[in-house]
Chain A
């Protein structure tokens, strides 16, 4: 799809600028999708640093057997906050940030559908992030339950647990408002001549993710509210002595938790589905099957939750059902991987930083997918459940999957956002240091899990020492590499080679018809779409 429209160099936006408050009030009161997108991304990066520091405390303690730096109760708080902050504070807001920045530009809209609600969805995040982080400093410390918050352990915790519950409530509200906004924007504000089946893949992934979020965030909110009332108001949802069942929480939590995995993964798929065609200079292969694959993954994700619970002692028929349903997810996921490879096939490829991260994503996410297949096998999972194998598996999916895709997105769109090209050499250094140190950190964890090391322990038996040391070295390397990322981004914001409207030769879509940086309101009048071959 190509577009012709009226945006020229002399495009008049002076009216918007003069109304805007200056300084901090600009950011507090803004209803602009770009400002809000920027705030989401910086918030996400700040939380990424906090969660990353916690990961390094965990890895430092695990460098040797025995207790060296932290006490076990503090270690448990670190694993809990690391998980919650990375999932809810870093990865999810990052992709909401991309959605805010890019979706209006991709579909030819001036802004998001609900601009004021957009402001509110963002400004709910900082209090939640502060609640989570500050819970470390209250008497008894933060929740030490792991991010899964399983009762009855979560019933035993101190006030830090209540703060985590409240933070989850706020984050949930923010996510629900954000997704309603994104869904409405995509459904209602597309430029004339852009039917659903021709809209950019990133919009498709976010449309479906939006529905997933609206469906499952209330479920999580319900689950943590039940913990809250069990803790303080004498209910017994999860207490057998009062007629409840601790396992009920796990069912509710994972009914949220499994779709949550795809809430994180689908927008990542969307980004990669833009980057690979752009740098292969070839349209995405199998657009229609990609859309169907995303939709089937999303649907199946609702009916596989108990594969996180193979050892709770559910009936054997339940175990078999959840195994079969889980195995089924490999089919649409495989389709996506095959489609990306076919997109590259006979292309004319170049390997700038976004493409490198997209390839890193493809390679490592596939490893994470395959270990997921191993874990889906109930009999094998009985050995691997709650071991480091699982830790390795979901870090391949979350870090090498979602985070690498987020890096690809930042490098891909940074010239558009800032109007400057980033430093390509340093970007590639960031990629290579990240991918090497990531694998040093996480690949050995597969071995630890197979050999029988449980997860969530601050101390371990001697035979696990060697791989833990390797893993810790890799983790610190990965952490340091991210400082390079910060430097590259800051450098591009401050200056650099001027970016043209379309800095990537093979990129397609409306966002590249706007100048870099784009005007404050993306499209004040809908662009006119003329049909050409391929998809937007």
Chain B
């Protein structure tokens, strides 16, 4: 027949995936499938507590509902007048206490394990920005890799003008790639407000606090892509800063590290290059779309008064140096972040050029990477 076995099994596989995908998409009522031992421990602890709770709940309310049905006036039940029983009262104080101690014991072991971040194979710093995550591979294989990870869900899907994809809101342009079976220590911090780095399948949630560094760890047992979100309200686009961790084999990880190093070497040292206005503007438009558009909007009108307009603004039409300074260093006590630490000279030069020449801003100014490099000093 026209369909060979391979195609058939592929089709069957697709059907199965679609079915399980649908099953997954609907009526999710329990923890996500665990990918670490810690996540399994959480589920076991939760289940143990639920069993104890369920038994107590049934016992207490069986008594109550029996009483509600049997001891009612309409059935002619006379009211007893007892109002104390010391023995019973001591019993129902002490027994719950013992049950609680029994519950606290395994919980203590789990907490001690969760907080032991020593002897990590790889250390990655996750920095929360409004509203994206930045990653720096600080120690172990891959040391020196750094990148920003932004949501890749298109605005049309959010606004309902395009059908929503399967990983709606849980997808990013760059994944945090880590090797399977290695202890990964994650340092969290932030530059603006408090965020929280959370991946449910890994049972990792750690607040990212501006000015402070906290840590947590995970060791993924299975390869795969694990999706999470920022868990601490961090302003307007709190719902739109996902975390995606991709766990790969050791070999794949080594290959990924090599690729990253090559790309970073190519991107480095842009300071000496000069670009044309058009090159800078088209690159700047992309940088703007990734980093600026959430607040200042695609049309440059912003969302005043919290997020001012750039179209016609004093900064974007004023002296270049002031414009560069605010992009590099941000504006204290506002949502305007310091992009100096996030973006390279080339990207900042491009976005400043774009902002000075987009919409109604026709300054004609061209800002080169060398200008940024100089301004950083």
Contacts and interface: CB of A to CB of B under 8 A. Distances in A.
B211 A450 contact: no
B31 A65 contact: no
B289 interface: no
Contacts of A350: 72-74
B375 interface: no
A353 B74 CA distance: 16
B160 A68 contact: yes
B169 interface: yes
A363 interface: yes
Interface in B38-80: 39, 41-42, 45-46, 49-50, 53, 56-57, 60-61, 63-64, 67-68, 71-74, 77-80
A345 to B, nearest CB: 5
A341 B64 contact: yes
A454 B92 contact: no
Contacts of A239: 211
Contacts of B233: 76, 145-146, 150, 153, 456
B114 interface: yes
B333 A156 contact: yes
A287 B83 contact: yes
Contacts, number: 304
Given A379-B45, A450-B30, A366 B57 contact: yes
A382 B97 CA distance: 24
A346 B63 contact: no
Contacts of B209: 240, 246-247, 312-313
B196 A153 contact: no
A73 B214 CA distance: 28
Given A246-B210, A461-B170, A66 B160 contact: yes
Contact of B60 (A330, A338, A464): A338
A66 B159 contact: yes
A13 B170 CA distance: 70
Contacts of A496: none
A153 B115 contact: no
**5 closest residue pairs by CB, A with B:** A240-B211, A313-B214, A457-B239, A379-B110, A451-B28
B343 interface: no
Contact of B97 (A311, A331, A454): A331
B9 interface: no
B193 A72 contact: no
Interface in A311-325: 311-313, 316, 319-320, 323-324
A240 B210 contact: yes
A368 to B, nearest CB: 12
Contact of A331 (B78, B79, B100, B157): B100
B231 A313 contact: no
Contact of A362 (B64, B97, B207): B64
A241 interface: yes
9 contacts: A285-B83, A320-B111, A337-B60, A344-B67, A383-B46, A454-B238, A459-B158, A459-B240, A463-B24
B238 A456 contact: yes
Interface string A463-479: 11111000000000000
A152 B235 CA distance: 10
Contacts of B200: 383, 452
Interface stretch (A184-192, A369-377, A417-425): A369-377
Contacts of A145: 233
Interface string B215-239: 1000000000001111111111111
Interface in A268-303: 280-289
B110 A349 contact: no
Contacts of A464: 28
Given A386-B231, A450-B31, 10 more contacts: A67-B160, A72-B236, A140-B305, A158-B306, A240-B212, A328-B100, A347-B71, A367-B57, A383-B205, A466-B27
Interface string B319-360: 000000000000011110000000000000000000000000
A518 interface: no
A335 B26 contact: no
B49 A454 contact: no
B14 interface: no
Contact of B236 (A73, A280, A311, A327): A73
A380 interface: yes
Interface of A: 65-68, 72-73, 76, 139-140, 144-146, 150-153, 155-158, 231, 239-241, 245-247, 280-289, 311-313, 316, 319-320, 323-324, 327-328, 330-331, 334-335, 337-338, 341-342, 344-351, 359, 362-363, 366-367, 370, 373-374, 377-380, 382-383, 385-387, 447, 450-452, 454, 456-467, 506, 533-535
A332 to B, nearest CB: 8
Given A348-B72, A382-B205, A447 B83 contact: no
Contacts of A362: 64
Nearest to B216: A313
A374 B49 contact: yes
Most buried by B among A285, A379, A451: A379
Contacts of B229: 454, 457
A342 B82 CA distance: 10
Contact of B79 (A73, A146, A152, A281): A281
Contact of A379 (B53, B73, B114): B114
Nearest to B203: A383
Contacts of B111: 316, 319-320, 323, 378-379
A280 B73 CA distance: 9
A458 B24 contact: no
Contacts of B96: 330-331, 334
B214 A331 contact: no
Contact of A72 (B103, B104, B239): B239
A105 to B, nearest CB: 23
B160 A377 contact: no
Given A153-B234, A349-B68, A378 B157 contact: no
Interface string B176-196: 000000000000100011101
A456 B238 CA distance: 8
A351 B73 CA distance: 9
A237 to B, nearest CB: 13
A534 B83 contact: yes
Contacts of A288: 84
B26 A458 contact: no
B25 interface: yes
A387 B231 contact: yes
Nearest to A332: B93
A342 B57 CA distance: 15
A385 B25 contact: no
Contacts of A245: 211-212
A153 B83 CA distance: 52
Contact of A452 (B32, B83, B157, B158): B32
B236 to A, nearest CB: 5
Nearest to B208: A313
A151 to B, nearest CB: 8
B31 A383 contact: yes
B254 to A, nearest CB: 31
Nearest to A67: B158
A330 B95 CA distance: 12
Interface string B300-313: 00011110000000
A344 B112 contact: no
B171 to A, nearest CB: 10
A35 B359 CA distance: 61
B57 to A, nearest CB: 7
Nearest to B80: A346
Given A76-B235, A313-B214, A283 B83 contact: yes
B127 to A, nearest CB: 14
A378 B231 contact: no
A342 B348 CA distance: 71
B166 to A, nearest CB: 7
